[in-house]
Amino acid sequence: MSLRKYAEKRDFTKTPEPRGGSSAGSGTRAFVIQKHEASHLHYDFRLEIGGTLKSWAVPKGIPFSKGEKRLAMHVEDHPISYRDFEGIIPKGQYGGGTVMVWDYGTFEPQSHAPAKDLAEGKLHFVLHGKKLSGEWYLVRLKKDEKQWLLIRGGDNMKPISKKQDDTSALSGKSMKRLATGARVWHSKSAASTPKLLPFFEPMMAKLLKSPPPGDWQYEIKYDGFRALAFRGNGSVQLISRNGKDLGKRFPEVVAALRKFSTENTVFDGEVVALDSKGRSSFQLLQTFEPGAESPPLFYYIFDLPQQDGEDLRSLPLDIRREKLKKLVRRSSGILRLSEDLGSDGAALLVQARKLGLEGLIGKRKDSPYEAGRRSGAWIKLKTHQEQEFVIGGYSDPAGARPYFGALLVGVFQRGKLAFCGKVGTGFNDSTLRTLHRQFQKLTIAKCPFENLSESGTGMTRAEIKRSHWLKPELVCEIRFSEWTRDAKLRQPVFLGLREDKDAADVMREEAS
């Protein structure tokens, strides 16, 4: 649908809202809910369908109880780039007031034709957000084309606390902080333009089975912690993809970044530990402790979303890379440039397998930096199966092993935790002890897996009865040989805990 109405209502020399533009569908669909304090407080509910954000204003907020309904007024489509917008719209402008990114994530339409469903007046979908999870419906009322109902489906959801309701899922700021602390943006040339971008989620890569045709540039896929480095006002922040501070854990990286002469700059890269053959190893990174004898640690930088206060995210990748090369090649030691390997993805993937690398990352040379998106402009090709899983329980130890026997892990499907298997290898005494200590804070009485009582789980009733259950909050990295026909892991090996990903975001990765 055209964004003409969106553009007609706004003066982009005065409002900070993005001019935007439509975007091709990515396969992974985004949603965002923005809390908007304008003439009256409401929540703007937006779903990525057909290259734009289909939008509704929900005056009384999101329903949490099964069957609960809230009026939702259909408004003009917004550009995809609007999902990252947070700040102040100046008074006198359309929608003038404070805007917060209240929640964001992905959604699953429960049909193969969501645009058609929407046109017919009923859309069933599942949200996977930072705050929201589960099923909802949008149903159009016949008496008024603009009036819809947002209805909670599935099970009841625990209501959001007052603190959560007043906390941005993007920046962690309250409405008051956004209203009093944020600058009012007018245009790129305005003196009030912020010097350093606020935190945003990094651009993500889509998993493919084989290299696609086209003009691609390939790099090594590193097995570490994805981290954005924000350097401004003489300080450096190293932030994980889910907003956690990694600076205290990796002070050497922070110290090296402080030596750059550039200010108000954002780097995107991966903190990795290298084994004796120069390959990144997530298991070795887990053992890294500041000040202790540890494996070689490096921050491989592969993108430059901002430099000296200039937002570079709309520029093509090859231009951002040229700017990055001029900066990073002047550095040495712990900071390294992620090198270009060429454009022959098939040959490079064969070589990556021979060298025992995790895989390759491919990027379109003309691609902009799409914060928080998995649009397909960046892809990943793996040499083996490896992904994140949520720990939902554990079994008792057997034989000489202390603490516990195996982890019980799963992924989220339609807002519920699905059991994927037992993981009994990849531990030493130290990891067994550390994990068991963390488990004690997360113990619950009820099994968190929705399907553990079903046949084909690989566990007997007696084993299930003896298992210990945990709040599904801890995320771990697992390497395995393959998925079985009944969606279980074959030959899984524990690699370590992932502090940089939220449990609600963990779903099965399937290559297309």
- Residues involved in catalysis: 221
H/E run at residue 237: strand 235-240
Contacts of 430 (CB under 8 A, 6+ apart): none
Query: Assign residue 11 a region: left if phi > 0, alpha if psi is -120 to 50, beta otherwise?
Result: beta
Amino acid in position 268: D
H/E run at residue 254: helix 251-258
The residue behind tokens 């299930």 is 464
Helical residues (DSSP H) of 121-167, grouped into ranges: 162-165
Amino acid in position 250: F
Strand ranges (DSSP E) for 38-159?
41-49, 52-58, 69-78, 87-89, 97-109, 122-129, 133-140, 147-152
Quick one: DSSP state of residue 257?
H
CB of 380 closer than 8 Å to CB of 208:
yes
CB of 364 closer than 8 Å to CB of 317:
yes
Q: What pairs with residue 225 in β-bridges?
A: 271
Q: What gap in Å lies between CA 105 and CA 48, rounded to an integer?
A: 11
CA-to-CA dists, residue 85 to 55, 432, 441, angstroms: 14, 43, 36
Strand ranges (DSSP E) for 377-425?
378-382, 385-394, 407-413, 416-423
Amino acid in position 460: T
Contacts of 159 (CB under 8 A, 6+ apart): 64
* Residue 473 burial (10 A CB sphere; 0-12, 13-18, 19+): middle
> What sign does the dihedral 290-292-293-294 (CA atoms) show?
negative
Residue 350 dihedral angles phi and psi, to the nearest 5°: -60, -45
Q: What gap in Å lies between CA 296 and CA 335, rounded to an integer?
A: 12
Q: What gap in Å lies between CA 85 and CA 32, rounded to an integer?
A: 10
Q: What gap in Å lies between CA 331 and CA 337, rounded to an integer?
A: 9
Q: What pairs with residue 151 in β-bridges?
A: 69, 137
